[in-house]
């Protein structure tokens, strides 16, 4: 799979994750009968981790690889805290924003054919 497609998938998943993380707590204020499930966060992280794994295999920049994996690690820590201790951490926002930035940098660093 080309890096361009992986960057599109990664940016899309990270943006959806960030939107989910921002909007969902607001929806919980409204009595709709919905509750938070960290499984959804875990699914977003798994998609992100697969994309990051595939991208970092081909990326030459060590700094960008560290940025990608640090972002996934922040998301994983946040989800782990939620699953184990039921603690909602802001690390997930930082991790999702980091993934978006890393994918944009990766996309801009490569010449993509049309």
What Å distances lie between residue 32 and 5, 18, 42, CA to CA? 37, 21, 23
1 pLDDT higher than 60: no
Model pTM above 0.85: no
Reported as a single tens digit per residue, the pLDDT across 47-83 is 889 999 999 998 889 999 999 999 999 999 999 999 9
Q: How confident is the model at residue 111 (pLDDT cuts 50, 70, 90)?
A: low
- How many angstroms separate the CA atoms of 94 and 111, rounded? 28
How many other C-beta atoms can be found within 10 angstroms of the C-beta atom of residue 41?
A: 23
- How many angstroms separate the CA atoms of 30 and 110, rounded? 44
98 pLDDT higher than 90: yes
Contact 91, 16 (CB under 8 A): no
């Amino acid at each position: 799979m080309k890096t361009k497609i992986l960057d599109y998938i990664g940016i899309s998943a990270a943006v959806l994750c960030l939107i989910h993380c921002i909007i969902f707590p607001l929806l919980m204020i409204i009595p709709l009968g919905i509750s938070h499930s960290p499984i959804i966060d875990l699914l977003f992280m798994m998609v992100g981790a697969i994309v990051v794994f595939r991208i970092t295999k081909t990326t030459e920049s060590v700094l960008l690889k560290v940025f990608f994996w640090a972002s996934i690690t922040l998301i994983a820590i946040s989800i782990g805290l939620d699953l184990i201790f039921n603690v909602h951490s802001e690390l997930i926002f930082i991790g999702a924003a980091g993934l978006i930035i890393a994918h944009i940098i990766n996309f801009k660093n490569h010449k993509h054919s049309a």
